Amino acid sequence: MPAPAKGPLVGIRVVEFVGLGPAPFAAMQFADMGADVIRIARPGAVPTLPDPISGRGRPTVEADLKNTEDAEMVRKLVDGADALIEGFRPGVMERLGLGPEPLLERNPRLVYGRMTGWGQTGPLANHAGHDINFIAITGALAAIGPVDRPLPPLNLVGDFGGGAMFLVSGMLAALLSAQRTGAGQVVDAAICDGTIQLMSMAHDLAASGGWRAQRDANLLDGGAPYYGAYACADGVHIAVGPIEPQFFELFRQTVGLDVSAHALRADPRNWPALKEKIATLISTRPSSEWLALLEHSDACVSPVLDLHQAVLHPHLVARESFVELDGLTQPAPAPRFSDTPTEARARPHDLLPLTEAVEMWNN
């Protein structure tokens, strides 16, 4: 079993049906915030799961959901739960007799969280897809990347931003409602829906005439010369983001731009010329020199670090933004709570017997 839970969700019980990507990431958020989460995995699946970090903080039981006895034991486990997380295609849980209707009938306060790419309804609901497909139809993929092609933003925008985090926020809202009313409900979290929400600012800009339907041409997509990454003399990139005029003025003075840069930045037609000027200046010194001049100022300049370098950045070290569990350096829980601090818990290495899990939760 993991270490004793800490955090604002202590006492909340969640049953997670093991999947990949956003569903286990959402379950990790619940576990990090103190909820008791038990993972249900099909027999033999655990050794092959690529989740040494996102599987932390919760025990796993194996259950053959097509086996009548195992399925009934899982139902008894859900009887003692506040919430459930599943990430299968629509209809899979229903065919196993574990859909929302029978489980809510047995446990009326249950919050039933469903994580999919396309959602539970619609023409694409039963089709396969991945992050790149889900964000492609939302306008997000078309807005990211160089001029000549869209660029997948890892799976941060879809799986985790538009998917898992909307599932978590939706389930937390439903849990609050269940506490008030005693009635649970289904939370249908679709990655395409959440990604559209994430695009709200782009829609704001479009509605006000401040968005061009072209990549690398807008304020936050690399088009603005004062919001992008530049290569230094040593080949290392720095991130430059002095959007506000006063921050840009500090940046301008430090790097040696002529005062006419303010006029150039005001007109998007002049952005390519200003971008070239900045790139030329930044390329004259190594990153260490630029960062010594700019990182600890309001010029909004930062090093562009890889995963291994990020662990060593002094700011993240000071905030203990990474923790070490099971010999692995990994992200610490976020956000932070003043009165109910969270703590990442190690992943149990031994499977928990299904009968023991049911007895533990229902007695």
Q: Cβ distance 337 to 349 under 8 Å?
A: no
What are 247's two structure tokens? 């921050």
Residue 66, both tokens:
């097509």
Residues labelled catalytic: 130, 159
Say if residues 307 and 330 touch (Cβ distance below 8 Å).
no
Q: What letters, b where the CB count within 10 A reaches 16 and e where it falls short, cover 264-301?
A: bbeeeeebeebbebbeebbeebebeebbeebeeeebbb
Q: Is 89 left (phi over 0), alpha (psi -120 to 50) or beta?
A: beta
Compute how many other C-beta atoms are within 10 angstroms of the C-beta atom of residue 41: 18
Dist CA 41 CA 308 (whole Å): 31
Chain-centroid distance of CA 11 in Å reads: 24
Query: CA 15 to CA 339: how far, in whole Å?
Result: 26
- Residue from 93, 122, 104 nearest 182 by CA: 104
Contact call for residues 192 and 138 (beta carbons, < 8 A): yes
Beta 36-41 vs 13-17: how paired, if at all? parallel
Distance between CA atoms of 220 and 226, rounded to whole angstroms? 9
Find the angle CA(134)-CA(202)-CA(160) to the nearest 5 degrees: 40
Give 134's strand partners: none
Cis peptide before 146 (omega within 30 of 0): no
